[in-house]
Structure 1
Amino acid sequence: MTFFFFCFVFCWEAYGQRELTGTVLEDGSEEPVFGAYVFFKSKEGETLQTAVTDFDGKFKITKPSAKQFIIEITYVGYKTLRKELSDNVEGDLGRFFVEDEGELLEAFEISAPVLSGEVKRDTVSFNASAYKTRPEADADELVRKMPGVIIQDGVIQVQGENVEEILVDGRPFFGDNPAAALKNLPAEVIDRIEFLDRQGDEAQLTGFDDGETVKTINIITKKGRRQGRFGKFYAGYGTDNNYNAGGNMNFFNEAQRLTILGLSNNINRQNFAADELAGAMGGDNRRGGGDGLSVGQQPGITRTNAIGVNFSDEYLDNKLKLSASYLFNDRDNVLNRNSSREYILPNDSLQLYNENRSNQNQSQNHRFNMRIDYRINDHHSLIIRPRLSFEKADALNQLEAINLFDRNNPISQNNNTTISTRENLNFGNSLTYRYRFNKPGRTFSTNIYTGAFNNLNRADLVAVNQNFVTGNLDSLIQFSDNRSSGMNYNVNFTVTEPLTEHAQLRANYRISNNASQTRQEVLRQEQETGIVRLDSTLTNEFDNVYQTQRMGLGYRYNKNNLRIFTDLGYEIADIDSDRIFPGFENTQRTFRNFMPRAVLTYEFNDMSSIRVNYRTNTDAPSIRQLQDVLDNSNPLQISMGNPELNQEYSHRVFTRFRRINPETNRSFMVFFAGSITNNFIGNETFIAPRDTLLQGDVFLSQGGQLSRPVNLDNFWNVRTYVNYGFPISAIRSNMNINSSLRVTNQPGIINGQKNNNTNTVISKGFVLSSNINRNIDFNLSSEGNYNMVRSSLQESLNNNFYQQRSRLDFFWNFAGGFFLSNNVNHLLYTGLGEDFDQSIWLWNMDLGFRFPPSRKAEIKLTVFDLLNQNVSINRNVTDVFIEDVRTQVLRQFFMVTFTYNLRRFGGVNMPL
């Protein structure tokens, strides 16, 4: 069937759609201008079609249906070119020459600031030369100086929204890890930075804007830096046998680009996106990396060896574009942590839980992803995105846990040791195909995603449990083997049809299927005889199939400054679960839901716009959540699944107003986001008032807890964020002030009674970035969070606490090649209690020398934690407990590091 379908579609190739091409060149030098915006507009100024020039300055665009229209070409630092065209133009429009504005303003620019950028619809473009950085700065140091940008803990926010993708000259750079991409590209090769709401693959191919966007940074490199070799290499050794070595190397030849990264250290640099010295200061940052360069930051102290490779090129006269990246990461992690919990119980009763954990984990991780864009001809286009990851890990975990009535009266205690190994293999591939008919706006497209996974987890557990109330003492020795595997697919068919010059219709159908299997075998050694037997209570086999079908009809309207998209879908979802062992039991559920969606964007002018986005979505329970098998890996905290779970149904709304004036370097942005979820999958927790046997055989001591997922209503959250950016000319710096309010209400059930835990966070912060010169550079930031925790079940646990995090980065390059660099972090905690209220300073300092005349080689002395105060504390608030956590961190050391920066462009070595 698929074969005949593609044969039918390809027969349309003989009927070519009208395409217009052209080339944009720099006046005088006649060099191609890459990344210029090409607009086809009506005589009234309405945008009809848009395109962006490639490396050769060429563009291709669909011919508008209007009888007369205007071509408009814009590029930062160049005069806007406008030319009127008529309906009889065909094929190649020839060459267009744009003039450099700098020639006319040269005498004036000596005393005037460089134009910082411009705004074009959903894209904000900033001129890199308008922001001063130190000589060897990376791209992240440049980006953080721009209006509305905050970079913290490896997360990049642009005006309150997380950046999910980095492009370099329009092509993906190192998968989906933006922080890694910015950290490994020098600022000096950058011409400008674009912040944009990038459409999805299908929307880009069909031209039908469905409102699905990804916040993206596109880095446009300088024309003179697209051919050459550049990189950085470093090696350092310090006290306590600490070491840090690595580097990156880039080979650029216009469209063909190869980047190689490497690192080896024992000072917690676990990813290529990390700061020069990661202090593991403050909270527990476990941000995962999707399919990019990150493997998730582990708490504790980690030795890491890693290699990364990124490649991109273009073929077949730029019709075929390929990009790929690979990461290997080898880590040895040691974690020592202690935590204390206070449970939220009915009737103002009190129960505490203290835990000391010591873990050793060795892991190897491989990640590969690729993107292939193939514009076969004017009709056919194809995007293929395969992804593969494999992880293997061995761990030794030791746990000491105790339940208490109060600080002086223990209930029960558990000591256990677990030796485990796991292997996880995941594969996914996305294929997007589009066929464009002769009639402009009429397209057919399909997206086919296929995936598979195969996971293995083996664990040997030895536990000793003691009940202080009854005096009972028992032990547990068990061996578990858990295997899970599955396959899934998602197929989407979409047809778009123009209704009028400004309106378009979309119809789509999607079917998805997720089939998974788990096999858990648990053996227990009997205390009396030492015989190992199968534990039928903990052993299970489970098969699950979740299938959805969705039909939708969408409408898009685009005229002048107004864009509207609406869609109404209807979804049918089926869950078919079989418990094969112990005892066969089948669970079937069918869910039917209407899925409305609406997106409105209005541009008041070139600088101001508003966007409103409403959507609904569903989320199915995982196979683990559906299994009614017990997990006693921590005998004081046992969990199990619930085969009666229903899917979640959520309403979400997002509203953003933005005003950016690049000429004055001022920006203002405010957004509101909120969601409410029906059938939220929360937790039901039972805290045992006495020693209890679960399912007749699994022991739960007095004070221990059993939790399982249940469906609950009244889960909601709201967030509002305001950011204002402006220059301070007196100190030649840029200021960003932000404020936010976040409220989350999370329901739960504790010993049969419902609890609504409401957490309100009020935040205020600022970022001050210098824009002085290359010899003096500083960034000063601070953010304070006032937290208000309210429990409907136990008002005595209502709690207010305050956290403030501040940071100063200061660089001074003084006479003779010497430089001084300081990184000062301050953490303030109040309201957490006597043991956790602290004011912590983490001060890292570099004193170095760059060797003349090129100053590409340097040697520096680093002091980490100059004041010897580094600690890690964190507070977690859930529907069941309030927890304070301390984690072992890296302490003070001294290190000497040698660094060499390579800069060779056009066959010439370039100084820093």
Structure 2
Amino acid sequence: MLLKKSILFLTLLLVSTTAFSQVSLKKVTLSGKIIDKETSVPVEFTIITISKSDTKIVVNGGTADANGNFNIELNNGNYDFKFEFPGYKTQEKLNQNISVDTNLGNILFETESSQIETVMIRGERTTVDIKLDKKVYNVGQDLMVKGGTVSDVLDNIPSVAVDVEGNISLRGNESVRVLIDGKPSTAINVTDALRMLPADAIDKVEVITNPSARYDAEGGGGILNIILKKGKNKGLNGTLIATAGDPRNNGISANINSKTDTYNLFTTISYNDRNNPGKTKINQENLEQNSYIEERRFSDRYSKGANVNFGMEVFLNKDKSATWTNSINYRNNGGNNFEDVTYKNYTLDRSTFLFTRFRDNISENDNEAIEYSSNFLKKFKKDGHKLTIDASISLNKEDEFSNIYGSYLETGAFVSDEKTSKIGRQNRNLFQADYVLPLGKGMQFELGSRGSYTNSNSVYEVLERVAQNDPYTNIPGFTNNFEYIENITAVYTQFGTKFFNKLSVLAGLRFENTNLEINQLLTNDLNKRNYNNLFPSLFFTYELNDDSSLSLNYSKRISRPRDRFINPFSSYTSNTNLFIGDPKLNPAFTDAFDIGYLRKWDEITFSTSAYYNHTTDSFQTVRKESGRFIGTIPVIINSPFNLGEDNRIGIEFTVNYSLKKWWKLNSNVNYFYNETKGNYQFTNSNNVLVNQNFDFKSSTWSARITSKINLPYKIDWQTNMNYNAGQKMAQGKNKGIAAMNLAFSKDVLKDKGTIAFNVNDVFNSRKRIQDLQLPTVNSYSEMQWRVRAITVSFTYRFNKLKTDKDPKPKMQEQDGGGEF
């Protein structure tokens, strides 16, 4: 009852509009009751809209209460009344003269047959919509991600993989651009941000493997566009979700919107409290030291966070051809990581045990971000003719602190005591305008510009004490004030046309000016770069018939090094395994070619594409000995560099198959061959020049299948299975990974509620397994970022059917042009 009263209060607060001034100030009361015509059951919270009969201007409104009754006060006059609720036909009473208190009696609602048809169609829709230029993944259909994060969502999408450290790859390529509502993520660390954003906030994800010139040129492997929920249903409606899990995964979220004929208010609010335990196993042979070390890590990562998004879309004219949307997003997340590491030391032949080193790492983080976004959309009379203007301003804070203490386990003797801190700040401003002009039948011209301006600063410091009671002193080699300034200005144009109603051609050219400053302020090492690039794109699509099409695409892409790839002081989570960035890394350029085929039958949608990516100056990571030791453990440095050439050729198949009305299958298989050419030179600790050859050839494949079965009693059963085959690397190989997720859901409370149960990683098998060989070090490792997790969630919908599907969001999705 308290919930319904709260909903009613919010409804009256949000939906009611200020009445226009009337000649007469006499107040009258309008009342009545809304019931289902067939069942005579009251229809609760029906949306009531009142407009003037002569001007059609909305002057008042409200909702029925939980018993279908309504009582609204208004000035006397002539009015039109509209009564709406999802699933029923809209009822209207036109040109009603209301001069005294009036009771309209029972308003009979009839079931909307088209709405019922929509329910059936929606229930049979596949999770993935396949198109020639992209795949659209509808998150609301996926039971696996209830209570999860954006990373969980991405890991369930065909063509996309998320490894145990959160790194994202598209068709095996990690050079991926992640967009949120068509704009780059504002987070300093995108990987961490995606682990914080709740899955319940996402409407769908677009997978664009070969983008056109209207998109950012960033991302040699393609683009992932994450589209957030923005309610579009009339009246006050929404969804509430509560989640609990083991390991701890507690959370609550709400997606609410209120829409009238003049505005649409929408909000997403979520809170989560999670624990992600993980473990790592490393067996390492140190040939020069004649030692063998068994390293075992156990970590508990705790996090608490809130995400709030609030926006308002205003319809600037009666025909809603001009809209202005403003939104504010606030995110706060903090937590701790408790990691225990033991190093059991043996002789190289493992015949003699020597000692055990223990390392205790306690870290905490505090992340906060706020973003303001504004979007103006003007649609002109001609279909497809429109202008969009976008702007966003964001501020980010990411602070990390850790205490690292080392000792000998057998004796408790002191080994090391270190403290680290990283203070990160970033502000990003983005401005964009896109104009689309249809020139005639089958022809379209596009023009646009974008400015992206980022200023990021991180102060990194490492302190140590040599003896247990000594004061902490600074380690100069790991302390710096790092500043990164990136200003990218772009303009683009595209022209599309269609020949003989069969062949579509879209040609585009994008120009980007990149102005960078990469500064190490403490050492006064300042680097400035400015370069201009042209990025052409050309797309051909030929319609063989109504059900099949062929496509041939080309685009040029760029991958700019960012974050830890250019920051030489970005990480000190392990004092024996360091990652050191290179501020002098150059961007990588990719020529991407794609040939695709799409075929639809009644029950099957099939698509395949063969692709070839040629990349120059691609990024590769080298592992090398530093010459330093912690006790007897050699310190290994991981560092990125520009490889000479990387060629990738592959083929991908995606199938959506409806075996029965109650059984749907989605499957995806990707195979690619990779060849790299290049060398890396460095001087080792013995002052010897080492030439590491990175010429190698490898191939790998991945497969996933999703099965969704509608069982009796409104129970859904979903199973996801995926396999990533092993892959050879220049300094070793990754072994294959097989994993399975399982989920069940049941509708309750007359379909207003849904209970979902899911198991992530049923067999506890999601581990990154590597065999690495260096000249003096061999290591075998298994890393499991998160152990098997079980989650239970409850979803409650008010004034909204389970099958409601919002239309395409108004916010710019960088899909400014239509299809030809």
Q: What's the TM-score bracket when you normalise by the shorter of the two chains? A: 0.5 to 0.7
**Secondary structure of the equivalent of 1:492?**
strand
- Assess if the C-alpha contact under 8 Å between 1:542 and 1:580 holds in 2: yes
- Assess if the C-alpha contact under 8 Å between 1:336 and 1:356 holds in 2: no
Shift of 1:329: 0.9
Cα distance between partner residues in 1 of 2:358 and 2:144: 50
CA gap of 1:754–1:804, structure 2 versus 1, over 3 A, is same
Residue 549 (structure 2) aligns with: 609
Write the letter of the residue equivalent to 1:305.
Answer: N
Deviations 1:18-66 (A, max 9, x none): xxxxxxxxxxx9xxxxxxxxxxxxxxxxxxxxxxxxxxxxxxxxxxxxx
Shift of 1:483: 0.9
- Assess if the C-alpha contact under 8 Å between 1:674 and 1:717 holds in 2: yes
Q: Percent identity?
A: 15
- Assess if the C-alpha contact under 8 Å between 1:691 and 1:700 holds in 2: no
CA gap of 1:368–1:593, structure 2 versus 1, over 3 A, is same
Deviations 1:99-132 (A, max 9, x none): 97999x9xxxxxxx999789999699xxxxxxxx
Q: Which residue, 365, 370, 374 being the options, matches 2:314?
A: 374
Q: Is 2:395 the counterpart of 1:452?
A: yes
Residue 307 (structure 1) aligns with: 252
Residue 665 (structure 1) aligns with: 603
Q: Is 2:670 the counterpart of 1:740?
A: yes
Q: Is 2:254 the counterpart of 1:356?
A: no
Q: Is 2:271 the counterpart of 1:328?
A: yes
Shift of 1:355: 2.4
Write the letter of the residue equivalent to 1:262.
Answer: A
**Secondary structure of the equivalent of 1:644?**
coil
Q: Which residue, 708, 713, 721 being the options, matches 2:644?
A: 713
Residue 569 (structure 1) aligns with: 510
- Assess if the C-alpha contact under 8 Å between 1:550 and 1:570 holds in 2: yes
Q: Where does 1:96-115 land on structure 2 (aligned, <5 Å)? A: none
Q: Which residue, 461, 481, 484 being the options, matches 1:541?
A: 481
CA gap of 1:178–1:475, structure 2 versus 1, over 3 A, is closer
Shift of 1:567: 1.4
Q: Which residue, 345, 352, 372 being the options, matches 1:429?
A: 372
Shift of 1:453: 0.9
Residue 400 (structure 1) aligns with: 342
Deviations 1:630-667 (A, max 9, x none): 85442211232322122232333444422223xx4233
Write the letter of the residue equivalent to 1:875.
Answer: R
RMSD: 5.8
Q: Is 2:671 the counterpart of 1:753?
A: no
Shift of 1:407: 5.8
Write the letter of the residue equivalent to 1:552.
Answer: Y
- Assess if the C-alpha contact under 8 Å between 2:733 and 2:772 holds in 1: no
- Assess if the C-alpha contact under 8 Å between 2:337 and 2:364 holds in 1: yes
Cα distance between partner residues in 2 of 1:596 and 1:345: 51
- Assess if the C-alpha contact under 8 Å between 2:286 and 2:348 holds in 1: no
Q: Is 2:356 the counterpart of 1:463?
A: no
Cα distance between partner residues in 2 of 1:482 and 1:612: 47
**Secondary structure of the equivalent of 2:565?**
helix
**Secondary structure of the equivalent of 1:604?**
strand
Aligned residues: 623
CA gap of 1:483–1:258, structure 2 versus 1, over 3 A, is same
Deviations 1:113-169 (A, max 9, x none): 999789999699xxxxxxxxxxxxx9546999xxxxxx99655867757999999xx
Q: Where does 1:696-845 land on structure 2 (aligned, <5 Å)? A: 703-724=634-655, 726=657, 739-744=669-674, 752-755=691-694, 760-763=699-702, 774=713, 787-792=725-730, 804-805=738-739
CA gap of 1:357–1:855, structure 2 versus 1, over 3 A, is same
Cα distance between partner residues in 1 of 2:512 and 2:758: 59
Cα distance between partner residues in 1 of 2:530 and 2:536: 19
- Assess if the C-alpha contact under 8 Å between 2:743 and 2:758 holds in 1: no
- Assess if the C-alpha contact under 8 Å between 1:599 and 1:614 holds in 2: yes
Q: Which residue, 769, 775, 780 being the options, matches 1:876?
A: 769
Cα distance between partner residues in 1 of 2:755 and 2:364: 42
Q: Where does 1:173-322 land on structure 2 (aligned, <5 Å)? A: 180=200, 254-263=234-243, 265=244, 267-268=245-246, 302-315=247-260, 317=261, 319-322=262-265
Q: Is 2:520 the counterpart of 1:622?
A: no
**Secondary structure of the equivalent of 1:703?**
strand
Q: Is 2:520 the counterpart of 1:579?
A: yes
Write the letter of the residue equivalent to 1:741.
Answer: Y
Cα distance between partner residues in 2 of 1:855 and 1:100: 18
Shift of 1:322: 3.1
Write the letter of the residue equivalent to 1:684.
Answer: V
Shift of 1:411: 10
CA gap of 1:303–1:549, structure 2 versus 1, over 3 A, is same
Q: Which residue, 620, 634, 651 being the options, matches 2:591?
A: 651
Write the letter of the residue equivalent to 2:621.
Answer: N
CA gap of 1:654–1:396, structure 2 versus 1, over 3 A, is same
Residue 444 (structure 2) aligns with: 504
CA gap of 1:257–1:161, structure 2 versus 1, over 3 A, is farther
Cα distance between partner residues in 2 of 1:122 and 1:387: 31
Cα distance between partner residues in 1 of 2:275 and 2:123: 48
- Assess if the C-alpha contact under 8 Å between 1:433 and 1:445 holds in 2: yes
Shift of 1:462: 1.8
Residue 523 (structure 1) aligns with: 463
- Assess if the C-alpha contact under 8 Å between 1:503 and 1:558 holds in 2: yes
Deviations 1:147-200 (A, max 9, x none): xxxx99655867757999999xxxxxx9998964799xxxxxxxxx99999999
Deviations 1:659-707 (A, max 9, x none): 223xx4233222344534332233232224x546xxxxxx696532122
Cα distance between partner residues in 2 of 1:306 and 1:725: 33
Write the letter of the residue equivalent to 2:556.
Answer: T
Write the letter of the residue equivalent to 1:256.
Answer: L
Write the letter of the residue equivalent to 2:524.
Answer: F
Shift of 1:367: 1.1
Residue 276 (structure 1) aligns with: none
Cα distance between partner residues in 2 of 1:557 and 1:863: 47
Residue 514 (structure 1) aligns with: 454
Cα distance between partner residues in 1 of 2:286 and 2:384: 58
Q: Which residue, 582, 596, 602 being the options, matches 2:536?
A: 596
Cα distance between partner residues in 2 of 1:890 and 1:737: 23
Write the letter of the residue equivalent to 2:454.
Answer: N
Cα distance between partner residues in 1 of 2:718 and 2:302: 37
Residue 296 (structure 1) aligns with: none
Shift of 1:392: 1.5
- Assess if the C-alpha contact under 8 Å between 1:755 and 1:879 holds in 2: no
Residue 61 (structure 2) aligns with: none
Residue 244 (structure 1) aligns with: none
**Secondary structure of the equivalent of 1:537?**
helix
Cα distance between partner residues in 2 of 1:888 and 1:417: 19
Cα distance between partner residues in 1 of 2:143 and 2:564: 42
Cα distance between partner residues in 2 of 1:198 and 1:746: 21
Unaligned runs of 5+ in 1: 1-28, 30-98, 106-112, 125-137, 145-150, 168-173, 184-192, 205-210, 221-251, 269-301, 467-472, 693-698, 812-820, 822-849, 907-912
Residue 91 (structure 1) aligns with: none
Unaligned runs of 5+ in 2: 1-37, 39-111, 134-139, 162-169, 171-177, 182-193, 216-221, 682-689, 774-778, 802-820
Cα distance between partner residues in 2 of 1:887 and 1:904: 40
- Assess if the C-alpha contact under 8 Å between 1:521 and 1:538 holds in 2: yes
Residue 574 (structure 2) aligns with: 634
Cα distance between partner residues in 2 of 1:487 and 1:196: 27
Write the letter of the residue equivalent to 1:419.
Answer: I
- Assess if the C-alpha contact under 8 Å between 1:420 and 1:458 holds in 2: yes
Cα distance between partner residues in 1 of 2:115 and 2:333: 53
